[in-house]
Each structure stands twice: as C-alpha cells, then as structure tokens.
Structure 1
Amino acid sequence: MSIDVREVTESDAPQWRGLYAGYRDFYHLPEDADAVETTWRWVSQREHGMIGLVAVAKADGSLLGLANLRRFARPSFAATGLYLDDLFTAPSARRRGVADSLLRAARERAAAEGANVVRWITAADNTTARSLYDQVATATSWVTYDMKPEGG
C-alpha cells in the first residue's frame, strides 16, 4: 500500500471525524460529538500547539489513519518534545504500514523542529500496537498518574 503522510486540511474533516470516533470507540470512550469536534478544531486550527497528521492512500486519497501531536517543554533538558496524544489506523488498513508511516512522520517532524523526543503512552493490554512501538521506540520506566483538579 502506498501511503503519504501530511498535515490535516479542512477537506479532511468528515473522514478525520470518522477515524477519531473510531479511536474513541477503541478505547471504550463514550460517543461524544462535542469531544470529536473540539479535537478537530484543535488539530485543524493548531490550537494548544497541536499538529494533526493523516496517512492518506495514494491510490484514492482516503484517510487511513491519524496522529495528533503537541509540543511540550522539557525543563530538565532545556528542550522541547512532541507528545503523541492519539494514533489510530482504520481497521481496514491495519498491518499495512500506516502506523509506522505516522510514527516516522512524527520522528521527522520532531527532528525538523529541534525537539529531542517523541513521547506517548498506550494501554498495557494494547499488545498489537506495542509490538510496533517496541520496534521503533524505547519503553520507559516511568509510571503515569492522573490527579483530578480540586473539587473534581
């Protein structure tokens, strides 16, 4: 399969929304059109330092996958990194190099912007994705915590 990776454009909105809804479903998040629309606005308008990438089939221009990245400061290194918030491949396009192409594009973007890392988290039981991640990145020893805001 021949794939191009590029930044999202306004014309990608309908297909991107479908992919992002699939991403949310994969992680058992409730259907939420507002969350999908808000995230689309963030990536398409580059709000909050977001960068929306899509994998596109060269044959017909259909979107095969998405990657949503954002810049973050790394004070301990006096550097910046790219955080990969979301990575998703359409079920019909899995095991065809889509995720690998998106990760390669994230790595190239980080290098072009002078970032010193691309970082992401995934579910411990996401073994299919982790088999790819283990080939292209190093799992860290860091444990992630979530703390609710006061009153939340």
Structure 2
Amino acid sequence: MAVTVRAVAVGDRAGWETLYAGYAAFYGVAQTPAMRVVVWDWLMDAGHGTTGLVAVTDDGALVGLAHVRPFARPLSASVGGFLDDLFVDPAARGQGVAVALIAAVADMGRAEGWSVIRWITAADNAAARAVYDRVARKTPWVTYDIGLSG
C-alpha cells in the first residue's frame, strides 16, 4: 500500500478521530469524545508542542497516525522526541504504514536536531514489537508511573 505521511490538518478531523478512538480501544482506555477534543486542540495549536502525523492513501483515506513531542534530556544536554501514540488501521497493517510513520517521525527529529526518538509499548503487543525490533533498538530501561489524579 502506498501512503504519504504528512502533518495532520484541519480537514483530517473525522478520520483522525476514528483512528484515535481505535487506538484507545486497542489499549482498553476509556477515552471520551471530550478527551479527543482536548488532544485535537493540542494538535491544532502550533504552540502546544505535540505534533500529529497521519498516513494517507492515494485516495485520501487516513490509515495511520502518530503523535510526537520534544522532551528535554538533561544528562546528555540534548532534546529528544517522544512518540506518544502510533496506530495503524487494522485493515492496513502489515503493509509498511507503521514503518512509514516511524521514518517520518525520525525525519522530523533530524530536522529539529533531536538526539533520539523514544517510545514505549505494551509488553504483549507482539505485532508492533516485531516492527519496532526491525527499526529501532530495544532499551534496557523499565518504565514506572505515579498516578496523580482520580
């Protein structure tokens, strides 16, 4: 499948929302339409820092999304990019869409002067991890969270 990866645009709202709802469902996250409005507003606000990319087929269908933002890396005195969300429509999986999105994020990072692109995934996300193992290096770091709200 041939796709073009580009920045998310105002006219992508419906397709993006369908993909993002699919992403939340994949991870079992109870995401409301109001929550998607917040994220969409971030993506449309150039001053926010979160950037959205979409993978688009030749006929204009959105088949994947990526959300990325810069993060400070004090130990290396550099800035990296954190890939918060990556999702490909199940019907488009296995056709290079995820690789194209990751490559576009890496290109963006190079253009921004970032030192690394970093992301996390669920340990049991075997299909995605097979892709990630081909395009990136698995780190030895373990992730922890402290929940701060409800």
Using structure 1 for the length normalisation, give the TM-score: 0.95
Q: Mind listing any 5+ residue stretches in structure 1 that lack a counterpart?
A: none
Which secondary structure state, in structure 1, belongs to the residue aligned with residue 48 of structure 2?
helix
User: Deviation at 1:37?
Assistant: 1.2
**Residue 144 of structure 2 aligns with which residue?**
145
Q: Mind listing any 5+ residue stretches in structure 2 that lack a counterpart?
A: none
User: Deviation at 1:47?
Assistant: 4.9
| Contact 1:52–1:66 (CA under 8 A) maintained in structure 2 | yes
Alignment of 1:1-152 (within 5 A): 1-58=1-58, 60-149=59-148
Distance in 2 between residues matched to 1:37 and 1:54, nearest whole Å: 17
Question: What is the number of equivalent residue pairs in this alignment?
Answer: 150
Identity of aligned residues (%): 49
Kindly report structure 1 stretches of 4+ aligned residues shifted beyond 2 Å.
Answer: none
Distance in 1 between residues matched to 2:127 and 2:25, nearest whole Å: 17
Using structure 2 for the length normalisation, give the TM-score: 0.96
Distance in 2 between residues matched to 1:28 and 1:110, nearest whole Å: 29
Distance in 1 between residues matched to 2:127 and 2:47, nearest whole Å: 31
| Contact 1:69–1:84 (CA under 8 A) maintained in structure 2 | yes
Deviations along 1:46-77, one digit per CA (max 9) or x if unpaired, are: 3531010000002x111010000001111111
